[in-house]
Amino acid sequence: MTCLICGASYQSTPTWSKLFLYELDSSTCSRCFDKFEISESTIDFTDFLGTPYEGAVDSVFCIYTYNEPMKEYLLQYKFLQDVALAKVFAPKLQQACQTKEGIVVPIAMHPEKLVLRTFAQVEELLNAAQISYQQLLIKTKSESQGKKTKRDRLKTTNLFDAFQTIEATNYILFDDIYTTGATIHQAAKILKDAGAKSVDAITLIKG
């Protein structure tokens, strides 16, 4: 097999899980994959207390931390449009989503940004991990949130709207990166206000 990151040939290690539990195979050599660090951060919701978003999110689980190899990965995947790299974290993402019950909902990309990016990076991560999802949200504002502080983001009118019926059930929001948390909390509030029973979140990275 050929590593999607460094291009070197490597041998995949067979396991019982791959044979009988349909676990996805790695698409990256161990030398590259071992550079990514598992996140041990605990998400603090203190800054959302007393805001309209208090209680919107029930829990957040981030798989990896934002170290230098992850920064390089995001550059290559999101901004240089190397969509094949969606497969790199497919096995870990599949495992993470199997730990929670609910309808998976990807964070939506604004249509204008989708044209520029050429693909929806969040949805492609889920596709690569063979995770079923429902796109229930639409992003209504195209302004960039990357350079705003958490306080500024929370002052912004909610970026999302629901365009399908939200059931009284459990939902799992998925995004590629959790930085200030404002995006996840805004999306969760839309779901909760529309009748969702609970909203958890999983992100690939803790920024």
Query: Residue 12 CB: number of other CB atoms within 10 A?
Result: 11
| Helix, coil or strand: residue 142 | coil
pLDDT attached to residue 150:
63
Better-scored residue on pLDDT, 12 or 11: 11
Mean pLDDT of the chain: 90
Sign of the Cα torsion 102, 183, 120, 142 reads positive
Q: For the chain, which residues make up each domain, given as ranges? A: 1-34, 37-206
Banded model confidence at residue 155, pLDDT cuts 50, 70, 90: low
- In this predicted structure, the answer to whether residue 13 has a pLDDT above a threshold of 80 is no
Contact 183, 110 (CB under 8 A): no
C-alpha 168/C-alpha 150 separation (Å) is 29
Closest C-alpha among 201, 173, 150 to residue 46: 150
Banded model confidence at residue 108, pLDDT cuts 50, 70, 90: very high
The DSSP bridge pattern shows strands 103-106 and 160-162 to be unpaired
pLDDT digits (tens, 9 = 90+) for 19-29: 545 678 889 99
C-alpha 169/C-alpha 178 separation (Å) is 24
Q: What is the pTM of this model?
A: 0.89
Q: How many angstroms separate the most distant Cα atoms in the chain? A: 53
User: 37-206 adopts what CATH topology?
Assistant: Rossmann fold (3.40.50)
Better-scored residue on pLDDT, 1 or 191: 191
Mean pLDDT of 38-58: 93
Banded model confidence at residue 116, pLDDT cuts 50, 70, 90: confident
The percentage of residues in the chain with a pLDDT greater than 90, rounded to a whole number, is 78
Contact 169, 197 (CB under 8 A): yes
Closest C-alpha among 55, 66, 72 to residue 203: 66
pLDDT attached to residue 25:
80
Tokens encoding 72 = 């390089």
| Helix, coil or strand: residue 173 | strand
pLDDT attached to residue 145:
55
- In this predicted structure, the answer to whether residue 90 has a pLDDT above a threshold of 70 is yes
Helix (H) or strand (E) holding 177: strand 170-178
